[in-house]
Structure 1
């Protein structure tokens, strides 16, 4: 008995999580290739250019900053050398070592000019024991601090030492508002050879300005180069897109020809079998049945029984041949549509005294492409055949409806079931393989759920376009 589920609604529990996935989901594999569009390629190229520009800009910013720091430190060292040789050391006297007022009176105007001309932020002159002999900030004069390693190195191995200043040291208490400074140590000597340490600080803004100059020059070259590459790639991209489109069209035409050839060949084989072997088997069945009747009328019961058995065998073979014709070329699917073909399929289960409930959304069935309809038909056919042959169900449901962006086929029975798994099927793997192949050919998702005594459910999702 077949019942229309539109009149007898029932929800099949297809939302459980015991499904075994047999074919990949439509979102994981695209059945149809998206057409290649030149606009999309241009957008992708532009995005790639932006990504490259951002990456190079980040790296370039770091490189230019480091390069500017190195150059700034080098320039500060040279400037400090020049100041020490030309202005500071010639003005030093041995009397200044004990007379801080004399040091201030002589060195203050020289240092003041240096601060203006050489853009020096701070000047300190140290004795070897860490006392500040002179500074442009009078608050530091006479104070004693521990010389850091760079200062000691500059004194012990006479050399100019330059770098980024660590303004957390105690002697830099009055420079911390600047946050970062370039610092240079350079030894100088009094007329009698007493070593002193000349320390000069320079604003970090010179590094920032130099880095900006380097970046502006670099960015101009970068932008013009990327723009040139982008323009040069456009004709190449156009040629590749055109070639890819031609290849896609050629594959689509070849696929359509193959599908048409396959359908034509199946139709020819089905027609040949129907007009040949099927008709001959039908004629043989009638002839043997007539011979059995004549033998029975003549009183030869043994011969009549033998002929009746032969006729039954021929009829069974004829039924199998007709089923094979439906498998090879389901005429109802092409002539009457998917909905009618699916309803016709349920007759084989209803013939086994099972209650069949059918719920098919005609709009969903019509939206499927021809190859998708055939795949749905094949999966439903195999699922119903397995149910009728192996499960001995009392109730079977066949549903085709919309589920989100997909058309969902669900075939469920309350039969004997089996242990479901990727390598388990009720008919020795063959039926499962047929359903999986049909789903994979159209990029559909196929899942199976079954348990001994718990029935079987087959679910197929086809993406609607």
Structure 2
């Protein structure tokens, strides 16, 4: 048919609810507990992550300050008193200074020493390959050299003057101004291992994490009774809401049944009797030779028969007895028969699928009825197909899929986002499908026919169950 020849892209009007549970249903106690535990775990994770960052920053700042104090102490107590005027030129003086540095400064806490002049030349280092090289001093180092004081930071091991320290891992460096015996201001630089930062970070992080995690756990314990009370209130409100909805649905079904009963026992019976009486009168008129009267009676009979067909269609729409008595297929067949009487050939195709519960059957009937009503009113179609089948998703649950296709003129699907005034059938249908936790899609375009797809998700099979 025409609708099958041209396939427009699918437009999803509503997604299925997770796990097939209707949207708006109250979460179970287990779901609330899982959410609470997940939220608590997230909070603890964030607290721990922040604690690591804060502890590392505090530990690094503390280690840098310790390095500055250590460099200042070494410079004042050990280095400056031993500085002679010929550190660069006098080999004996440099050897004696080197022995002092290696004996009293270099060790586990200090891994490298350099002494600079104002030009950026290294006058001394325990790494002799650096002695005599010039690299220049940056602004901070010059400020310490000229104004005194101390400065410290994490070493930039990519700098050329630090090329011999690169195999030692991350280091801290500290500067302090010292004065040689001849009055020349020099810059003392000491390098410290970064291990103290890691150790201090661990200490601070442990204390911070225990305090923060303990606070979070205490807060959760304090809020647990409140959460339990809220859960009870939510469940009670949801139960009352569901009871009211069920009462409204039952009342609506009872009212439809009452109206259908009155139509069947009243107007339909009266019209049937009138048709029989008119048919008998027409036969009598023909017997007496009054052809004109017989013709008028036949016309009246045809009009009443058409009205009777309309009332029977309305009766099926109001309360399809086959839906509750025999299942969804006979109800769809009755619906198709009613639509055929309005000029559209409807075919119902049913493949293998799981059984529908009563709520699902009512939803399927409602969707098919609304779509076929639109086919009759707006599509100018000659054929339509209603197909039921099964589909298995990634969750291994079996969904029931209902597709309604027609060969009509189609429409612009964007019109569904802004329906015309008074056209509320499809929006109400979308709301009903969404409330049931199902999915509804449409594929259409001007001149391409229309296809509707309703998907009713099933419940995933239990693990360990029978295959």
> Which residue does 1:82 correspond to in 2?
73
Give 1:298 deviation, angstroms: 6.0
1:114 equivalent in alignment to 2:109: no
Give 1:85 deviation, angstroms: 2.4
Q: Secondary structure at the match of 1:368?
A: coil
> Which residue does 1:244 correspond to in 2?
234
Cα 1:314–1:213 change in 2 (3 A) is same
Is the Cα contact below 8 Å between 1:94 and 1:191 reproduced in 2?
yes
Give 1:260 deviation, angstroms: 0.6
Cα 1:102–1:221 change in 2 (3 A) is same
1:342-377 per-residue CA deviation (whole Å, 9 max, x = no partner) reads 23334346668987654335764xx22323323323
Trace 1:46-445 onto structure 2 (pairs within 5 A). 46-94=37-85, 99-105=90-96, 108-109=99-100, 112-115=103-106, 119-141=109-131, 143-149=132-138, 150-290=140-280, 302-348=292-338, 358-361=348-351, 364=354, 367-381=355-369, 393=382, 397-404=385-392, 405-412=398-405, 417-422=408-413, 434=425, 437-438=428-429, 440-443=431-434, 444-445=439-440
Q: Secondary structure at the match of 2:196?
A: helix
Is the Cα contact below 8 Å between 1:401 and 1:407 reproduced in 2?
yes
Is the Cα contact below 8 Å between 2:350 and 2:388 reproduced in 1?
yes
Is the Cα contact below 8 Å between 1:123 and 1:198 reproduced in 2?
yes
Q: CA separation in 2, counterparts of 1:172 and 1:267?
A: 93
Q: CA separation in 2, counterparts of 1:449 and 1:128?
A: 82
Larger deviation, residues 189-198 vs 202-211: 189-198
Cα 1:362–1:259 change in 2 (3 A) is farther
Cα 1:420–1:196 change in 2 (3 A) is closer
Give 1:295 deviation, angstroms: 5.6
Trace 1:12-23 onto structure 2 (pairs within 5 A). 17-18=7-8, 21=11, 23=13
Is the Cα contact below 8 Å between 2:146 and 2:185 reproduced in 1?
no
Give 1:258 deviation, angstroms: 1.0
Give 1:399 deviation, angstroms: 2.9
Give the structure-1-normalised TM-score: 0.79
Give the structure-2-normalised TM-score: 0.79
Cα 1:356–1:37 change in 2 (3 A) is closer
User: What is the number of equivalent residue pairs in this alignment?
Assistant: 445
Q: CA separation in 2, counterparts of 1:22 and 1:77?
A: 66
1:4-43 per-residue CA deviation (whole Å, 9 max, x = no partner) reads xxxxxxx998697425647424359963545523333233
Using CA pairs under 8 Å that are at least 6 residues apart, name the structure with larger relative contact order, 1 or 2. 2
5+ residue gaps, structure 2, are 393-397, 460-467
Q: CA separation in 1, counterparts of 2:14 and 2:325?
A: 31
Is the Cα contact below 8 Å between 1:76 and 1:184 reproduced in 2?
yes
Q: Secondary structure at the match of 1:115?
A: coil
Q: CA separation in 2, counterparts of 1:346 and 1:371?
A: 21
Q: CA separation in 1, counterparts of 2:333 and 2:158?
A: 87
> Which residue does 2:464 correspond to in 1?
none
Q: CA separation in 2, counterparts of 1:437 and 1:287?
A: 43
Larger deviation, residues 209-218 vs 300-309: 300-309
Q: CA separation in 1, counterparts of 2:105 and 2:348?
A: 99
Is the Cα contact below 8 Å between 1:100 and 1:133 reproduced in 2?
no
